Copies of this chain bind each other. A is one copy, B any other.
């Protein structure tokens, strides 16, 4: 059983303001919850619609009706379990290896995909501008499929932080170096920009190497790659070229 007030409390975590205040977030579905339970995230409470196979102490789990779970859920299709976890404090950033910097990425699905890509390509740190969507947003958590537990994500004034970085700073622009022909790529920061406006002028001034993903299709086409697809191509290509040059 859950009370109306408990449901209200959980539902408030759909909003960034209350996630900040309580330092809690929600995750939904067996796969994501299992991954988070096996990570450094600490469970606050688990809500399930039936006796499921989660390795969670009895006092931290409650069986609820499908209706109540639907009220708590942030997803269009409600799964049969929802968990509340404690947020993690972000660790200090390590610029001696690859870091991905996000300049105002707004779409939760894009951030989730980028976190998952960083996890795949062994990138341990993401630094986000303060305008970038919150990584504890339920849709971000869902899209990461658990990889949020393996990547350190910090929010800060991006320009101020990047000014202190000695490593190369890469960013995608029109008219930059062809990414497939770049030589001497050294580990550094890869900046990815806003969905509509790309990288801001302030951050552009800090970029030391501008890169371009050339298109192979018809040049009349107007649409560009979205930020998550562009990230997957840049990370794949940089990992390949650095690996092959070593």
Contacts and interface: CB of A to CB of B under 8 A. Distances in A.
Contacts of A218: 122, 150
A147 interface: yes
A106 to B, nearest CB: 14
A222 B149 CA distance: 12
A239 interface: yes
A146 interface: yes
A115 B146 CA distance: 27
A236 interface: yes
A93 interface: no
A116 B228 CA distance: 12
A146 B109 CA distance: 20
B217 A119 contact: yes
Contact of A217 (B76, B120, B180): B120
A183 interface: no
A157 interface: no
A225 interface: yes
Contacts of A73: none
A109 to B, nearest CB: 8
Interface string A175-210: 000001000000000000000000000000000000
A24 to B, nearest CB: 23
Contacts of A117: 225, 229
A216 B221 CA distance: 34
B180 A146 contact: no
A145 to B, nearest CB: 5
Interface string A119-133: 111110000000000
